[in-house]
A and B are shown apart, each in its own frame.
Chain A
Amino acid sequence: MNVDKFIENIKNKEINTYFQKNLLAVNPFKSHKIENYKYSQLNKIDFNKSHNYIHELNLNTKDNFLDDFQKSKVREGISSDHISWNFNGPDSAIRLSGLIEDPFNHIFNLDNINNDICIIDLSLYEEINFVFNYTKNKKISIVIIDSNYNIHKSPKCFKFNVYEKSNIEILQMSYNKNTSLIFYEFNQFNSSVVNLTVLQANNIHLRNEYYFNLGSDCICKISGANFSNLGINDNYSFIQHSKPNSSSREIFKSIVDHGAITNFQGKIYVNKIAQKTDGYQMSRSLLLDDISKSNNKPELEIYADDVKCSHGSTVSNINEDHLYYFNSRGISSELAAKILKKAFIQEVLDSIENISLKELSDKMINEFL
């Protein structure tokens, strides 16, 4: 271990101890079925500004996830050191600023965008609520960038109305050392497709929530990769199959190091009339040391009788035998670990369809591995 790494370890450990002492809920997993997350306690963060916001969550969750936020404030950014790589996006990529139709409600009509890729850099917006409507059949790709530049003290709420037969791909990239709070609500109308990929790296305190409401014959894909070496990262997903014949597939992978904590809670909820639902959910965590933690809680709540749903969850370390195989071919443990970490999340990277987005995410991952 070199000196820099050693110092970094100590530094991280201090911060992690702080987080564990102050933020981690005493009993993060309640037993009741309708529970929502309670992993980290937002009201314990040193917030200094309060925000009120409206949210039109129309799912049947009794324990509204907004409560926490209405009570709490958002803190100042800890640091804003810039991590940068060059994204040579295709000419067709545009930034969303300037497309705001209504500065108060921030409703965007994605139909008006002629480009294949649309970039939303969260550092550019003070706004909290965004509503996106999309009705076209043509696939559109959206990149949401949540970088260290995003020092706004507000959570971001995205509502996507994905209308009949339309097809949307979203890539979220979070590498934000400030508190990062992002909430999604997807209303998928019949026969629509949403492919959401989330890459999160070295966020100190992150909470992302994904709410999906699926009509009939929809396809919903969520693929997430989280690298944590600091603090607490929470991901929560709730996929409601409201109507028949839809499929949802969610994979979530965490790589946890230096005593950080990651939490994943995901629920597939199948309405009584949502027959022929095909739901799959898998969360896997790779712990790189013995002080790091990962809590995974997959849940199924099914009221229809003709459905196919499965879920699973694993937590493991880097496989010693795999490392040995690499070593026996002259490859150093350091390089091998890097390759194995990449391999661990490869499935997530593979879910990205757009080639430029693939390249972009590859760059991001290589930066953080």
Chain B
Amino acid sequence: MLNINNLKASIGDKDILKGVSLSINKGEVHALMGPNGSGKSTLAYVLSGKDKYEVNEGTVDFKGKNLLNMNVEERANNGLFLAFQYPMEIPGVQTSFFLRTAINAKRKFNNLPELDALEFAKLLKLKAQELNINSDMLKRDLNVDYSGGEKKKQEILQLSMLNPDLAILDETDSGLDIDALRIVSEGVNKARNKENSFLVITHYQRLLNYIKPDFVHIIADGKIVKSGDYSLALELEDQGYEKMAKA
């Protein structure tokens, strides 16, 4: 699915990613953990194609294609999805309208007919219910005045509507209350199948109790310093980054 090899990236003249290598296969869930400022979000942004980052070295292969050659929208339409750590507020654009535009953009890219208003409404209702999002909220402007947790849920709603091949969740769990965390995790688990993959960025092992990862990676100072299975997250919870880094 995704093959990152020795990826180095910077912003301005500041090097942030200092040689990240990571391989994710179809059907796998990987967790990425690491201290604040270690480059987790940067990695997510670079993979999504945000242009303020400069890629200086390395390769990224996504489904057999060179990801770095695509622009942001091509990456999305090819099946990459990033659930943002801080979702943007867009005044004047209704949430449901945004979702419909996004879904139809992807369908158009795949040479599928656009969903008509009725089909879309049905799908949206179903998906929103699964995430316990009430329909009034979808009539509001995208993320505007949503609470922190509501914004995160909204990102996962987009994920479940767009059905990506690879989803990167950047701290989706922070800001969610206990019930919301369970509901969102269930949503993610439901979207999970043999054909798609997830990269879950988190600070808390708790999320990983719900979304069981196949692999856990620890990133520090722009490099993956340790990889293992689920037990690595438990170890980390127990010992903290500092001890782990020394070990």
Among A325, A329, A331, A335, the most chain B Cβ lie within 10 Å of the Cβ of A329
Residues of A within 8 A of B51 (CB): 324
Q: Is the CB of B88 within 8 A of A327?
A: no
Q: Is the CB of A340 within 8 A of B105?
A: no
Q: Is the CB of B92 within 8 A of A324?
A: no
B139 CB-CB contact with A under 8 Å:
no
Contact with B along A228-262 (1 / 0, CB 8 A): 00000000000000000000000000000000000
Q: Is the CB of B73 within 8 A of A330?
A: yes
Partner of B102, one of A324, A330, A333, A347: A330
- Given A333-B73, A335-B105, A339-B101, is A328 in contact with B48 using a C-beta cutoff of 8 Å? yes
B162 CB-CB contact with A under 8 Å:
yes
Q: Is the CB of B88 within 8 A of A325?
A: yes
A52 CB-CB contact with B under 8 Å:
no
| CB of B243 to closest CB in A, whole Å | 36
Q: Is the CB of B106 within 8 A of A330?
A: yes
B72 CB-CB contact with A under 8 Å:
yes
Bound Cα distance from A189 to B4, whole angstroms: 72
Interface extent on B, as a size class? 20 to 34
Interface extent on A, as a size class? 10 to 19
Consensus secondary structure, chain A interface: helix
B189 CB-CB contact with A under 8 Å:
no
Bound Cα distance from A330 to B76, whole angstroms: 5
Residues of A within 8 A of B81 (CB): 328
Q: Is the CB of A324 within 8 A of B50?
A: yes
Residues of B within 8 A of A346 (CB): 92
Residues of B within 8 A of A324 (CB): 50-51, 72
Partner of B109, one of A321, A330, A339, A342: A330
B205 CB-CB contact with A under 8 Å:
no
Q: A332-B105, A340-B92 are in contact. List 12 more A-B contacts (CB 8 A).
A: A325-B88, A325-B90, A328-B82, A329-B102, A329-B105, A330-B73, A330-B77, A330-B106, A331-B102, A343-B92, A346-B92, A347-B92
28 sample A-B contacts, Cβ–Cβ < 8 Å, listed by A number? A324-B51, A325-B87, A325-B90, A327-B71, A327-B72, A327-B76, A328-B48, A328-B49, A328-B50, A328-B81, A329-B76, A329-B98, A329-B102, A329-B158, A330-B73, A330-B76, A330-B109, A330-B162, A331-B73, A331-B105, A332-B73, A333-B73, A339-B101, A340-B90, A340-B93, A343-B90, A346-B92, A347-B92
User: B residues within 8 Å of A by Cβ?
Assistant: 48-51, 71-73, 76-77, 81-82, 84, 87-88, 90-93, 98, 101-102, 105-106, 109, 158, 162
